[in-house]
Structure 1
Amino acid sequence: MTSHWQTLPYLYWRATIALFVMLLTLNIIQPVQASPVLDLQIRFTDAPNPDIERRLLQELRLGLLTHDQFPAQTDFLFNRTEQEILQILRGLGYYQARVEPSLSRSDTRTRARITITLGEPVRIRDYQLRIRGDGRRLTVWREYRQFNQRLTEGEIFRHDHYINTLNDLRTLAHNNGFLDAQFIQREFKVNPHTGEVFITIELDTGTAYQFGTVSFKGSDQLNEDFLMSYVEFEVGQQFEQAPLTELQTQLVGSQYFGMVRINPDFDRIVDRQIPIDIEVEDNLKHRYTIGVGYGTDTGARVTFGFQNRLLNRRGHNYEIESTLGQQLQNATFRYRLPGKRPAIQYWNINLGVDATQSANLKRSRSLVSPEYIYQVTPKFRVNPFLSLETENFNYSNQDNEVIQSLLGGLNLQYRWVNQEGYVNAGYRHSASFRFSSDQFLSNADFQQIELGSRGIYSPLAFLRLHGRIQAAYTFSDDLRKIPATYRYLLGGESLRGYGFESIGIQTERGLEGGANMVQGSLEADYRFSRWLGTGIFVDAGQVYEDVPNDQYLVGTGFGIRGFTPIGTAKLDIAWPLTEPERGYRIHFSLGLDL
């Protein structure tokens, strides 16, 4: 038999359930229901305007609600919506706009519908920009009007363009040393009935400030004179922000420092001169690199590098680079001596050996080469050099040859890219001149000019077009007095679809490198994710002895692109159109685009 105490819990829960059902029946309590979804809709009576619709949805406070959880709050924000929209539209130039809001509710949805008639926008009828003061003749004002002007007569007037113009002008003045610049007049007058806007901006630059004394702190490894050689401006020169930005870039690029901070000290200005405090942190002296790779031209390879960034307090340094591959081996020791302006001038003393092996040529070379590098402008670099070289080589089925050369020459490069890594706009033009005479420490006798140009253009986002052309011409009475390094064989990455170094000229001794060469390429790639893309290409070229002929070798194909921080990896399949009997070839390479 069930005891009295065992039946009590059962009776308690039965009575509780009965009471809850009764209260629901009498509507004294209600079951919890989900809040209605808030649906904000914007419609235009004239043509749809997705840009304005997107901006309104982002900026309206009613748009922050996803549910009509608190009707009083929803009503409050809805009642303010008309004024918010009119204010936003006036900022975009629509002063005659009309707004018709409506709000409806159901059990599951609250719909806020906004109907907008934009009307005609107001346009800039007259725009007057006047610069006064000592800085009125700066070229930056002319450049700003020509290239960066936000306010243009005839265009729709937008408040943000007006505010940004004021900020631009003030920033330009400050960056060029006019820290006291102020607006004498800044106003715009809107006539909504005629749709016209009249703007007047007058800026007084005042008097320019100047660079004061420069002081370095934080480096224990470099002496003060060497650090100061990086500073291109002088005390008393007009203050500008651009030289400071360039100085920071050059100090970071020197690899002597792990951190660089440049601070104009505006609190210690004396006689309108601004002291410049530069804080640096010494970098680690030694740097090691090791890597593995593969290329169809070189085979599998291992690379090793060592760099001593700072050998003494005058900034001398050296580095060792080496590659051990199946078809390529090299090792280079490079000693660098900073010049009078170390950011743009320095000397290199190079000691090196290199060798390559292909089906048609085996060569090894040793060299001693002093060179001078001068970065004339950020785009233009000049590099004169001397090089004493000894080369041992033999073409397939030919006797071994040894040629010693004392080369003199000049390399020129003009390069610009919009960004490193994934370049979508840029170019690189190069020219090399080299000569050797058998009258002085050489049995090589030739003069050679080599020209090259590459460019990248992006007509659409993530679609790039590449163009490349290269040509070389050699003056020599005897082909056998030219080292194999300076005779041309095509194929592999230089002419896809053909084997590495398989294209040359036929002599009575067999296939050899030619004295002259011309080649080019057109390529397109499309990036469909952060790391991957695809590409198509066509390559063409020929090697010749005297004058080019009409027969160009052509290869074409397609492949996969991998976009990495150190350049573009290409895996291509290519067919030799001119000689289809060769069959297709696979090519792989990794490197910078420009």
Structure 2
Amino acid sequence: MIFRPIRLSPVQPLLLLIVLLAGVWATVVRADVLIEVTGVEGALRDNVINYIGQPPSTDAAVVRRFARQVEERTQNGLQALGHYHATVRVSRDTVNDQPRIRVEVDPGEPTRIARINLRIDGEGGDDSALRDVLARSGIREGDVLHHGRYESLKRNIESVALSRGYFDGRYETTRLVVRRASREAEIILHYDSGRRYRFGDVQFSETPLSDDLLRRLTPFSPGEYYHSDTVARFNRNLLNSDYFRNVRVRTLQAESEDETVPVLADLTPQSRNIVGTGIGYSTDVGPRVRVNWRRPYVNPEGHSLLTETEVSEVRQNISSTYSMPLDPPLEHKLEFLGGYQRERFEDTESETYTLGIQRQRTLTRGWQQTLFTRWQRENFTQAGDRGRSTLTIPGSSISRTRSRGGIDPGWGDRQFAQVEVTNRELGSDIQLARLRLRSSWLRSYGRHRGRVRAEVGWLTTEDFDATPSSLRFFTGGDQSVRGYAYRSLAPRNEDGDLVGGRYLFTASAEYGYQILERWRLAAFYDVGNAFDSWDDDLKEGAGFGVRWISPVGPIRLDFAWGVSEPDTPFRLHFSMGPEI
């Protein structure tokens, strides 16, 4: 067979394109048939319109055939909500070249529920959760019959029964009787739950972790009553442990014996070594690079190791944390820490070496408590004065962070409180006590967003000159009082050099308005200072900014003025990261 090419005249492709575009245009601009329903309102009218629907096209013959079905569809929509004695009149015409179907409805008297017989047999008869399903069904004698509520009740009984381990449950009777003549209905639902199943043995796929640790991550013991929420919690526990890359918890109902269900956890362990990198920029510290190396599990007991370093113009540090899970492992752990930090800004230079041990516990409602002891040696130069301190610092902190909205939360808050002390009897060069309190709140209402934050610091010491720079208070910059350089607000000596303060107070209020999907404008007012007396003046900063919600999180550009200073200096602030 010989295929010959088809030659088209120059006009034919154009005609073909026009025909295709015409077809597409007709599909796009085709108006639906206008459906007008009168005589009923609210949910009844909405249900009728949903049951009627739309014809597949506006072709006259198609609309005529569709109109013949409208009365039946209308009756079905009315009967679904208990109206079995309706009168329906259907007419068809055209309005401004658009086909119209008019439906006039007289719903008549509704059918009401005369009798209800709901019963749960078997062990589920004494289960409060199943009894609550019946109590919350919304079906009462004397109510207008609603088929949707009846079907919903049937599904809810089965769903709750299965979630609570009644795997042999079945309906003995499901009957909805409608007596048209008397406009009455009777509902009969008899459900036999059978026996409630219990958890059986838990099987784990091969992992490098010990059976003891895996059992402590299991939120149930064999023999406890089955509940699907407990299975979901088990799945979350394994994922939140950070030991596994993939988790799939399954119940093996086909292998059930004596009303017990074995459970299988298919686990894919994390890589033994995980390396992460990141870059950022802010006007406080300039460009910065961060690298971390993590071993999710060092041994079968689930110990883990994290080492990270950050390098910027004003700060360089490296630290390591060795974690040991306690009991329960997701809520209680012991950590050993070590690190080195070098910092240089304004009139401060310091080198700090730290070793520490801390115990972290998760309390109720998301609060985390940390008890710690830190050994710290710091070489520092502050305002030209050199010093060296060795401190053993026990302390405690409590914190909580909540947020909703992913990388750009629209709701959240962060709370933090910490107290730390030193004593010569513990090997410290000086005695001091230090308190820090921070609070930040974020709320959004439509396009409007409000953020407020405050911080308070207090330090008492027998020798302020010997107190290392890292424990003195400074403020100013992107995250505190905008309009001023990073940590440039604090008491100064006679030469005008920063020496740091004993006390700290900052507060901020910011209003944001969303102008586009990923863009917001903001206006703010900041106030605060670090000082040696609560009677000292506070510095004020104010300005406006723009926020871009990038794929990696919000990027903020602020134009700020230090309104407390002569000639009101201007400063640009740029930062990245969430607002909470």
The farther-off stretch of 438-447 and 577-586 is 577-586
Offset of residue 111 of structure 1: 0.7
Query: Cα distance 1:124–1:511, how it changes in 2: closer, same or farther (>3 A)?
Result: farther
Instruction: Name the aligned partner's letter for residue 449 of structure 2.
Output: R
SS in 1 for 2:242: coil
Please say if 1:437 is aligned against 2:423: yes
- Tell me the alpha carbon deviations over residues 490-540 of structure 1, each in whole angstroms, 9 at most, x when there is no partner: 111212222211222345575332222232323333445554333333323
Offset of residue 331 of structure 1: 1.2
Match of 1:18 in 2: none
Q: Percent identity?
A: 22
- Tell me the alpha carbon deviations over residues 36-86 of structure 1, each in whole angstroms, 9 at most, x when there is no partner: 95542244658997x9988877764425x3441xx4433222222343345
The partner residue of 1:522 within 483, 506, 509 is: 509
Query: Cα distance 1:464–1:37, how it changes in 2: closer, same or farther (>3 A)?
Result: closer
- How far apart, in 2, do the equivalents of 1:482 and 1:72 lie? 93
Match of 2:20 in 1: none
Query: Cα distance 1:263–1:101, how it changes in 2: closer, same or farther (>3 A)?
Result: same
> Where in structure 1 are there 5+ consecutive unaligned residues?
1-33
- How far apart, in 1, do the equivalents of 2:281 and 2:109 lie? 61
Q: How does 1:160-559 map to 2 (within 5 A)?
A: 160=148, 163-164=151-152, 166-180=154-168, 207-219=195-207, 221-377=208-364, 379-395=366-382, 397-460=383-446, 462-492=447-477, 493-506=479-492, 510-546=497-533, 548-549=534-535, 551-559=537-545
Q: How does 1:119-158 map to 2 (within 5 A)?
A: 151=138
Query: Cα distance 1:575–1:309, how it changes in 2: closer, same or farther (>3 A)?
Result: same
Offset of residue 563 of structure 1: 2.7
- How far apart, in 2, do the equivalents of 1:585 and 1:286 lie? 43
Offset of residue 406 of structure 1: 1.0
Contact 1:40 / 1:112 at 8 angstroms: preserved in 2? yes
Contact 1:82 / 1:99 at 8 angstroms: preserved in 2? yes
- How far apart, in 2, do the equivalents of 1:387 and 1:88 lie? 72
Instruction: Name the aligned partner's letter for residue 512 of structure 2.
Output: D
- Tell me the alpha carbon deviations over residues 281-316 of structure 1, each in whole angstroms, 9 at most, x when there is no partner: 222222222222111111011221222233333323
Query: Cα distance 1:452–1:151, how it changes in 2: closer, same or farther (>3 A)?
Result: farther
- How far apart, in 1, do the equivalents of 2:567 and 2:210 lie? 66
Instruction: Name the aligned partner's letter for residue 41 of structure 1.
Output: L
- Tell me the alpha carbon deviations over residues 393-441 of structure 1, each in whole angstroms, 9 at most, x when there is no partner: 233x331222222111122123333454232333332222211113322
Query: Cα distance 1:116–1:544, how it changes in 2: closer, same or farther (>3 A)?
Result: farther
- How far apart, in 1, do the equivalents of 2:513 and 2:143 lie? 35
- How far apart, in 2, do the equivalents of 1:352 and 1:240 lie? 45
Match of 2:54 in 1: 62
- Tell me the alpha carbon deviations over residues 196-216 of structure 1, each in whole angstroms, 9 at most, x when there is no partner: 999998877665322111110
Contact 1:122 / 1:197 at 8 angstroms: preserved in 2? no
Query: Cα distance 1:324–1:123, how it changes in 2: closer, same or farther (>3 A)?
Result: farther
Offset of residue 157 of structure 1: 8.6
Match of 2:101 in 1: 113
Query: Cα distance 1:407–1:121, how it changes in 2: closer, same or farther (>3 A)?
Result: farther
- Tell me the alpha carbon deviations over residues 259-302 of structure 1, each in whole angstroms, 9 at most, x when there is no partner: 11100111122222211111112222222222221111110112
> Where in structure 2 are there 5+ consecutive unaligned residues?
1-25
Offset of residue 130 of structure 1: 8.7
Instruction: Name the aligned partner's letter for residue 84 of structure 1.
Output: R
Pairs aligned (count)? 550
- How far apart, in 2, do the equivalents of 1:186 and 1:529 lie? 53
SS in 1 for 2:101: strand
Contact 1:258 / 1:282 at 8 angstroms: preserved in 2? yes
- How far apart, in 1, do the equivalents of 2:564 and 2:110 lie? 63
Contact 1:426 / 1:456 at 8 angstroms: preserved in 2? yes
Please say if 1:102 is aligned against 2:91: yes
The farther-off stretch of 195-204 and 284-293 is 195-204
- How far apart, in 2, do the equivalents of 1:181 and 1:406 lie? 64
Offset of residue 388 of structure 1: 0.8
- TM-score, normalising length: structure 1: 0.78
Instruction: Name the aligned partner's letter for residue 217 of structure 1.
Output: S
Contact 1:62 / 1:78 at 8 angstroms: preserved in 2? no
- Tell me the alpha carbon deviations over residues 554-586 of structure 1, each in whole angstroms, 9 at most, x when there is no partner: 323332223346543222222234336342222
